[in-house]
């Protein structure tokens, strides 16, 4: 089964290609039928692209619960907000998910997740995959912030915005406001019959979706790493995570060469005409240094990332 990250990369890169095709571009005002079709197609892209980001948040959060279920620390040593989310707060998510199931599927579903809640009172706990982001149909900016707060991330959207800016995916704009604008655009495209979503907005969402997904994933992954490694400061002394907790390595195509960069330094640390060789080395260096590595294709679109 593909990971949440793999699915999102495929979907958002497909979105980037889709917005370039002739069928979604307006022609002259006299081409009324074509323009009407293009408008409907753009509205559909706006809906599906935002749904892809929501799906990533849900699936990545579920993966996080699986990762934590394999860690060696006791449930009582998890962050307090995470403990609450995995016990009684998860009930709202289970109640909503039950409402979507067929009658015959409800008993086994609730039994499965009730066992996981009960396991939090044992040494070998298993957290519900529906702990986060499953209590309603859509995800809000508050949902994303609350997930990261449960993992001791300080002021999550601010940290995500700082990282996105360092990656060159967004300017100084708040990612929280960007997410809310994208949600409103999705709502308009889905529910307003005469909506006309500009192609430029959809094109911009390619960078915005990657910015939100990568920074969310990086902070979540770093928190999980510290819990799995039983980091004393993080687990017992209340250490918070922020943007400076994560070192960044990137690969970009610049002036006809593939270049490797670290953090927000403009000078490349390595240059090569062979992408494969540079990738292998950079990924290994990022793994050893426990860094976030983000790779961009020749057009400057994210092609891959990994959080250590």
State which of 224, 256, 285 marks the end of a domain.
Answer: 224
Q: The pTM is what? A: 0.96
Q: Look at the alpha carbons of 34, 36, 38, 40 in this order and tell me if their dihedral is positive or negative.
A: negative
> In this structure, is residue 304 part of a structural domain?
yes
Cα separation, 210 vs 303, in Å, equals 10
Residue 158 falls inside a structural domain: yes
Per-residue tens of pLDDT for the chain, all 308 residues: 789 999 999 999 999 999 999 999 999 999 999 999 999 999 999 999 999 999 999 999 999 999 999 999 999 999 999 999 999 999 999 999 999 999 999 999 999 999 999 999 999 999 999 999 999 999 999 999 999 999 999 999 999 999 999 999 998 789 999 999 999 999 999 999 899 999 999 999 999 999 999 999 999 999 999 999 999 999 999 899 999 999 999 999 999 999 999 987 889 999 999 999 999 999 999 999 999 999 999 999 999 999 97
Query: Could you tell me if 211 and 269 lie in one domain?
Result: no
Q: Which range of residues forms the domain containing residue 137?
A: 4-224
How many H helices and E strands in the chain? 11, 5
Residues 138 and 217 in one domain: yes
Residue 76, in any domain of the structure: yes
User: What Cα–Cα distance (Å) separates residue 147 from each residue in 49, 62, 80, 184, 223?
Assistant: 21, 11, 12, 21, 11
Same domain, 258 and 140: no
Q: What share of the chain is helix, strand, coil (3-state, %, to 5)?
A: 60, 10, 30
> Is 199 a member of any domain?
yes
């Amino acid at each position: 089964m593909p990971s949440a990250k793999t699915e999102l990369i495929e979907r958002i890169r497909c979105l980037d290609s889709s917005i370039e095709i002739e069928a979604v571009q307006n022609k002259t005002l006299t081409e009324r039928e074509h323009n009407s079709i293009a408008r409907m197609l753009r509205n559909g892209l706006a809906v599906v692209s935002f749904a892809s980001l929501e799906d990533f948040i849900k699936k990545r959060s579920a993966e996080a619960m699986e990762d934590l279920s394999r860690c060696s620390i006791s449930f009582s040593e998890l962050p307090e907000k995470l403990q609450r989310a995995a016990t009684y707060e998860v009930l709202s998510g289970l109640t909503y998910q039950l409402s979507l199931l067929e009658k015959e599927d409800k008993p086994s579903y609730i039994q499965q997740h009730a066992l996981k809640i009960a396991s939090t009172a044992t040494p070998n706990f298993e957290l519900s995959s529906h702990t986060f982001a499953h209590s309603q149909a859509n995800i809000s900016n508050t949902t994303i912030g609350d997930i990261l707060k449960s993992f001791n991330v300080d002021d999550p959207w601010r940290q995500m915005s700082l990282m996105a800016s360092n990656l060159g995916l967004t300017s100084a704009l708040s990612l929280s406001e960007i997410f809310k604008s994208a949600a409103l655009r999705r709502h308009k495209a889905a529910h307003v019959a005469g909506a006309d979503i500009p192609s430029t907005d959809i094109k911009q969402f390619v960078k915005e979706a990657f910015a939100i997904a990568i920074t969310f994933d990086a902070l979540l992954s770093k928190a999980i790493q510290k819990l799995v490694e039983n980091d004393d400061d993080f687990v017992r002394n209340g250490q918070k995570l922020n943007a400076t907790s994560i070192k960044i390595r990137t690969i970009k195509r610049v002036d006809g060469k593939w270049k490797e960069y670290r953090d927000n330094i403009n000078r490349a640390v390595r240059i090569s005409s062979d992408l494969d060789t540079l990738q292998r080395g950079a990924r290994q260096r990022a793994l050893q240094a426990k860094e976030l590595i983000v790779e961009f294709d020749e057009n400057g679109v994210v092609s891959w990332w990994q959080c250590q």
